[in-house]
Structure 1
Amino acid sequence: MMMSLPPIAGLDADAVSHFVQSVLKEDLGLGGDVTTDLTIPADARLIATIQTREQIAVAGIDLAQVFFEALDPDVRVERLARDGDELQAGAPIMRVEGRARPMLSAERSALNTLQHLTGIATLTRSYANMIAGTSCILLDTRKTIPGLRAIEKYAARMGGAHNHRMRLDDGILIKDNHVAICGSIEAAVRAAKAGKSALPVQVEVDTIDQIEPALKAGADRLLFDNMSVEMLREGVALVAGRVPIEASGGVRLDTIRAIAETGVTYVSVGRITQSAPAADIGLDYTIAA
């Protein structure tokens, strides 16, 4: 039975418990860590230092801690950084002291989680730094690993992004498929507005001539999809501040600055969750006295 947990990494207490137990079950299976149980004395104790081997924006420290606590409630954990901190190579993140067997068994689950979330936060920080000084806001997307959306979007926040839709029920975004089925942008917007939802209606447009029809139909926000920088500038001038504008589609680290400088309100980047590499974070042990 796990201890009562506070909200952690974008998850409420029940979700934290479910996530940690599911990950541990995936790794331990039904028989547990047979190698550790056969080779490590039951009374052995270890001190573990978790540190980064590269420059990172860290995310997932509290969640990593819970894995160690789940297998050893008496483990002692010292957090040496906080989520969102930028750390240089060699910087310590956490020290853990406790019984060797549960610590070794929890190690991979804790590290996998910390490396994955920190990788997202680190890549996100790189994108956020590229548009620093502009008025443009970086957004994430729903391009996440199934089942991990809440913690991946948390990591994106730690890296400096704002969250776009978390789910399909917390935002209206009319895309090309909706338009095709409805027959026109105007018809799709009118249908969305007729539902009298409290949610703003955002419309995806990929040509300049779609902008005015969307605005006249009552769109509250526009998404300029896969437009060139020149088209973005033209579209921003045409909208003239009437609604917020989001630029999206194929945004890369080497293109995001030029996109942000066109005057769009937001730029969304699927890569920060979809393509972030795991951070190079290691764990070293010493035998405790």
Structure 2
Amino acid sequence: MIGYLALTPAREIPAIRQFYFDNQEYYIAAATYNIIYYSLYVRCTGIVFLSLQRYFIITSPLSTFSLTIQNADNWKIILVYWATPTILSIVVLKDYDFHFNNVVDMTLIVDKSVTQRNTVMSLIVVSITCIVSSIAYGALFVFLRKNSSRLSQSLRREVHLAFQVLVLFLAFFAVFVFFASLNYLTQMQMVDWVYYIRGIYPMISGFLSYLNPYCILILNRDLFRQVIKSVRCQGYKGSEAQVSGIVSNTAKPTAGSTNLRGSGTTLAPKKVTFC
């Protein structure tokens, strides 16, 4: 979002527009175009990772794979999260032969073959995102139907958190329709319609950018209560670490039972005030 604001709306400022036009050969013109696809791939890989993470955490919370994810260092998570879309975007990011038509209009001139290739590639990536996420949530739904009576309280919380990702995933079907339509219009050489549809993509991108934070705020009850208390200057209590798992009627705690961070001790809640 910051990159888009810096490269597109900022061009309305005369001094910045002149600077961009004079230095467009230094990847400024290319970045204006390539950031559209790079940001899309970041969102797609994020949806896939979150969908798979929710599935494994809920269905097999104590497996080696799930515990590895839960105990992974922050820098490793960040590295995987950003490296994957960057690798996918190499084909896009290597293109730099773009230019603005003039300093007044600042219309980006792009080769037709580049546009067609990137449109097809985007459609493929979005399609894979929808397919993988659909399989993950379909399998999760089947699992929940079979084990609904044996879900622990902490696991029910994980299920509730999964809906945050599910809403964002459903919104990606609209993105799939967008790129499918764009690919069709591009193949049919309907230039005017392609130009018009591309004009509404920033609105779609902005919608996706702000959808996830609102989903987290509305669907995460604990966070919502904490935000309300913070606004009222009442402070809030920190959440206790819990183990996500299926509790059997005959299961008893053992020495090997630990929480996902490796500590079986319940921490005393902290009192935090933002006023």
TM interval, short-chain normalised: under 0.3
The answer to which structure has the higher helix fraction is: 2
Please give the TM-score of this superposition, normalised by the length of structure 2: 0.26
Superposition TM-score, scaled by structure 1 size: 0.25
